[in-house]
Chains A and B, each alone.
Chain A
């Protein structure tokens, strides 16, 4: 059977499963549409949260990021540490509050239409920027594995999401996400186990990574990471495990990712779907276990794939001649067609020299003389890190069905996150804008219809943006985390842990935190990301105290807290009924079912 047919069977079977679930889990009321009826088991919600959270970026790009070495550990700690904050600082109290959306809480707690509107805008901007990447990621996965055009791939993805999100709402999305989690985690771990076995003899990648590299015989066994340090050093790269110099920036970047994770609305609303406050606490723990299964494996995939790649290019060792281009393996040819692997024979010797030739880095400068002595004329192989996971089974020569599984897994990761984001967007529009701010007299049925129409429109907008991605798609992820961390997270936390912060303080804090973060990001990445409009070049020398624009969300959050408290203490206390509302969210008793309203 051809690889194409195998891929088609795996992807087709997973779609059939999603459609089946969608038909079974139709939403009949707004409560089912927004919070899946509030009756989701905490373990099931944990799984759905994990699929909701782990996007195309986690599935496809994470291992590639980690293959750069220790420096990108921030992503691992940041994207998991946020769940500790969620479990203790937000999820149980927001579940007790018992309404449907994040702006619902901000609007009620700060008794202000302005606060609600700011929250809705932040939510929509953060979620829309995030969803562009998901649609584009699904398009890439379809194009590579199902041999359709990128455009057709995005339309297929949109059609599938439309089917189960518009009809099933949160209920359909929840149970599809549970299935998608299973598909994506199986797809991620199986190739990782095989590769770990090949390189280290240990079936558990997280242990294999810290075990001995045994692929060259037990007599030559050395610790895998030591081996990796050695071969990358011999090619002029920085040691894989090398420490970073700018610890302040790494710390702030990790902190920004953590509070951004805790403040992303599509994750928070997942905790509205469990029956009780106690379940919300358990559910956060289950979510992190399911997420950790992938995130503990990812560093092993990254390090082993990098070692495998170097071994492919230098089959006799890095001191010996590189591979002849004519002898390149099949997977290099496949990926060359997509443009994600590029070869240029700069010294015209027919071999593939891959090394660090980036002038300016200390390691590359020190290596330049060695490279010249070996007759090398620049790095000849450029590999896009995003292919590491997708090409992993081919690099390790695994059977065809594993590749089919990866195809289904990558698509599941993109679709599940897209659906969660689209629900957050559509519920903010139909519930917060239409029902609460524009037409409070709308009937239950009318609101449900409005929710479905908003969902349909949101999918069309996301599809359009996926087809015509703005040139700044990559930078916008920083924007999404910056907005969530600097505006939504502090507002929610102060709403729960302070009775003194009032409407004026909250609005001033959100606007100040958001503005400071946006100005800092735009200064270095271009105003509204328009190329060429950056005020200062995006280099570490220009950053204030060495803080990169991606790390600024944490500073934005601190500004938010400071301004909110200062303004609140200069103005009136919140009314008594608001202070009672704060009291009531702190105690679990009487949370009951999500309040219909």
Chain B
């Protein structure tokens, strides 16, 4: 039972770390690159606009897709490693 408990705690803390990391990237590409840091990125031209504009209208969305698939892949793998998959 004690073993189960520590295993469960490990599973949950790994999940929380993964979520925190993913949310940092999530916030960085949207609130960061797309909104707050846009003036800093204005020197980098992307086809008639700047990098911040591209992130706000394309880049953030593309990154969101990558984040979700990475999270799903990593967690589903963790489920299997810990024998928690259905």
Chain A partners chain B? yes
Contact of B86 among A243, A295, A588 (CB under 8 A): A588
B contact residues, range: 35 or more
Contact of B61 among A80, A247, A589 (CB under 8 A): A80
- Does A382 sit within 8 A of B, measured CB to CB? no
Q: What residues of chain A lie closer than 8 Å to B54, measured between beta carbons?
A: 210
Q: Contacts A80-B60, A288-B64 known; A227 to B22 CB distance under 8 Å?
A: no
A243 to chain B, nearest CB (A): 6
Binary CB contact string for chain B from 26 to 68 against chain A (1 if under 8 A, 0 otherwise): 1000110011101100100011111011101110111011011
- Kindly state the separation between the CA atoms of A334 and B40 in the bound complex, as whole angstroms: 46
Q: Contacts A88-B22, A588-B85, A589-B86 known; A254 to B53 CB distance under 8 Å?
A: no
Q: What residues of chain B lie closer than 8 Å to A592, measured between beta carbons?
A: 86
Whether B22 pairs with A84 at a CB distance below 8 angstroms is: yes
Q: What residues of chain B lie closer than 8 Å to A210, measured between beta carbons?
A: 46-49, 54, 58
- Kindly state the separation between the CA atoms of A277 and B11 in the bound complex, as whole angstroms: 15
Q: What residues of chain B lie closer than 8 Å to A255, measured between beta carbons?
A: 31
- Does A586 sit within 8 A of B, measured CB to CB? yes
Binary CB contact string for chain A from 267 to 286 against chain B (1 if under 8 A, 0 otherwise): 00000000011100110110
Q: What residues of chain B lie closer than 8 Å to A89, measured between beta carbons?
A: 19
Whether A225 pairs with B12 at a CB distance below 8 angstroms is: no
- Kindly state the separation between the CA atoms of A227 and B2 in the bound complex, as whole angstroms: 67
A contact residues, range: 35 or more
Q: What residues of chain B lie closer than 8 Å to A284, measured between beta carbons?
A: 68, 72
- Does A292 sit within 8 A of B, measured CB to CB? yes
Contact of A254 among B30, B42, B68 (CB under 8 A): B30
Q: Contacts A76-B61, A80-B64, A278-B79 known; A70 to B86 CB distance under 8 Å?
A: no
Q: What residues of chain A lie closer than 8 Å to B58, measured between beta carbons?
A: 206, 210, 296, 299
Whether A226 pairs with B68 at a CB distance below 8 angstroms is: no
Q: What residues of chain A lie closer than 8 Å to B34, measured between beta carbons?
A: 73, 77, 254
- Does A340 sit within 8 A of B, measured CB to CB? no
Chain A residue nearest to B36 in the complex (CB): A247
| Interface residues in A216-237 (C-beta closer than 8 Å to B) | 222-229
Q: Contacts A77-B34, A227-B48 known; A278 to B72 CB distance under 8 Å?
A: yes
- Kindly state the separation between the CA atoms of A130 and B18 in the bound complex, as whole angstroms: 34
- Kindly state the separation between the CA atoms of A296 and B50 in the bound complex, as whole angstroms: 17
Q: What residues of chain B lie closer than 8 Å to A288, measured between beta carbons?
A: 61, 64-65, 68
